[in-house]
Amino acid sequence: MEPTTRLRSPLKQGTERSDGFWEDSEGKTLKVSASEIERYVYCPMSWRMEIEGISAKGKEVELGIERHQRMHQMIVEKIEAQNAFTRNIVIWSWWFAVVLTLAADTAAFYFVQDGLIDSELASMIGKFLVLLALVWLILAIVLLILPWRRWLGWNEILSSSEEDPDIENDLQPLNTPLELGEKGWLTFGRPEALILFSAIALSLHGVALTFAQNRSLATFALLVLALIWTLLATTRLQAALTANKRVKEKDIEGGLEDLGEIKYSDGGDSILLEDKKTGLRGRPDQITRIGEDLIPVELKTGKIPKKPHKSHRFQILAYLHLIESMTKSPPPFGFLRYGTESVFSIEWNQKEKENLFSVIKEIQQISVEGGAKRDHNRPGKCESCSRRQDCPDRLEFIPTQ
């Protein structure tokens, strides 16, 4: 078949549904990717050539791929630094709590020994702590036996991984409940472990307060322990501050300061967002979180335009719809970045959704009926097109003298 005829021939078989989208003989909506939308809106011939395996050529294309990879690497490093910061802060706060406990114990022992606190009272507090430890122990045993997770519909692994997957990995033995019985009975997980540890800590304090004979030696030992623990906690704080400095450096290097908290970056093998109703699918370069909203980010390389290109805008609209359909929560806008300096915010509303849907339907229709052709009359656009060498529809650009 002639190359030009091939580029205009139908690609798929399908029929139009009552809602205007097109489906195949099995009733599945014809698939359209976000990057296809970008190419189609740029020029239907460019879209069709890509499908036929006629790739974009030129230095700009190679440079774009290289910049994308560099940016992805930078974002991955930033996310790693963020995770290191969170992990170290969490550990520091735990260790600092231990320091406070030891300091409180030291003070209690000192005042008992000094006579400021009546030793009878100290012994009473000790007994009370032992009693409390006993209650915690019973609670831990009850929670261990009963299938309360099933009753409450609580998934321990999911609830912890949402907070921070890295922390979850570090605490894997505690986050994955150990199931000894069936259907949730006899399950030992993080809550039981925490309550059990608290019971042990309380009982130790109680016993020490009640029975410690040489309180001045105990005071000294506790003081030394508190100092050692303070030193250990300081190393974690130092690590957290270093990680935070790395996050800031990556923010400046990649122009990421205003993008919110980046939750995901596409490295080529990442998750595919999909909407079965429209057939739309795609992988945004990044997804960031601002407040409660997940915001798609698309990075474009090359010359920075005064306003976003229409084709790039439609690509972001596609990701906005995908996030809305998957999360059931419409993001208010998406980010279109040109290099590291320029960021445009693309609004998401009903009108833009209709515009997007009409392009998806058009692509599905042209896939079934064929007939892709140049939709503009601008030689300058063809001149800067990365597929011009192979395009039968290209316009010749004659520079003005």
Under the rule (CB under 6 A), what is the footprint of ligand SF4? Answer: 43, 45-46, 374, 381-382, 385, 387-388, 391, 393-394
Tell the smallest beta-carbon distance from residue 292 to ligand SF4 (Å): 40
Helical residues (DSSP H) of 153-214, grouped into ranges: 156-163, 165-170, 172-175, 190-211
Which class for 361: exposed (0-12), middle (13-18), buried (19 or more C-beta within 10 A)?
Answer: buried
What letter represents residue 4's amino acid?
T
CA distance 233 to 88: 9
Q: Given the complex with ligand SF4, which of 321 and 387 has the nearer CB atom?
A: 387
Strands, E assignment, 43-179:
178-179
CA distance 296 to 283: 9
Angle, CA 184 vertex, CA 179 and CA 189 arms, to 5°: 50
Tell the smallest beta-carbon distance from residue 23 to ligand SF4 (Å): 28
Q: Given the complex with ligand SF4, which of 233 and 385 has the nearer CB atom?
A: 385
DSSP state for residue 28 in the 8-state scheme:
P
Tell the smallest beta-carbon distance from residue 303 to ligand SF4 (Å): 16
The first and second tokens of residue 119, run together, are 């030793």
Tell the smallest beta-carbon distance from residue 301 to ligand SF4 (Å): 18
Q: Given the complex with ligand SF4, which of 266 and 393 has the nearer CB atom?
A: 393
Tell the smallest beta-carbon distance from residue 307 to ligand SF4 (Å): 19
Q: Given the complex with ligand SF4, which of 50 and 156 has the nearer CB atom?
A: 50
Tell the smallest beta-carbon distance from residue 389 to ligand SF4 (Å): 9
Could you tell me which residues are beta bridge partners of residue 300? 338
Q: Given the complex with ligand SF4, which of 172 and 384 has the nearer CB atom?
A: 384
Q: Given the complex with ligand SF4, which of 99 and 391 has the nearer CB atom?
A: 391
Residue 207, number of CB atoms within 10 A of its CB:
15
Q: Given the complex with ligand SF4, which of 45 and 218 has the nearer CB atom?
A: 45
Q: Given the complex with ligand SF4, which of 230 and 386 has the nearer CB atom?
A: 386
Tell the smallest beta-carbon distance from residue 378 to ligand SF4 (Å): 8
Tell the smallest beta-carbon distance from residue 395 to ligand SF4 (Å): 6
- What distance lies between CA 344 and its chain's CA centroid? 21
Instruction: Establish how many alpha carbons lie within 13 A of residue 243's alpha carbon, considering only the half-sphere containing its beta carbon.
Output: 19
Cα-Cα-Cα-Cα dihedral sign, residues 36, 39, 43, 47: negative
Rama region for 179: left / alpha / beta (φ>0; ψ in -120 to 50; rest): beta
Tell the smallest beta-carbon distance from residue 382 to ligand SF4 (Å): 3
Tokens 């590291």 sit on residue: 340
Q: How far apart, in Å, are the Cα atoms of 321 and each of 77, 188, 232, 269, 326?
A: 28, 42, 48, 21, 9
How many secondary structure helices (H) and strands (E) does the chain include?
14, 12
Q: Given the complex with ligand SF4, which of 43 and 74 has the nearer CB atom?
A: 43
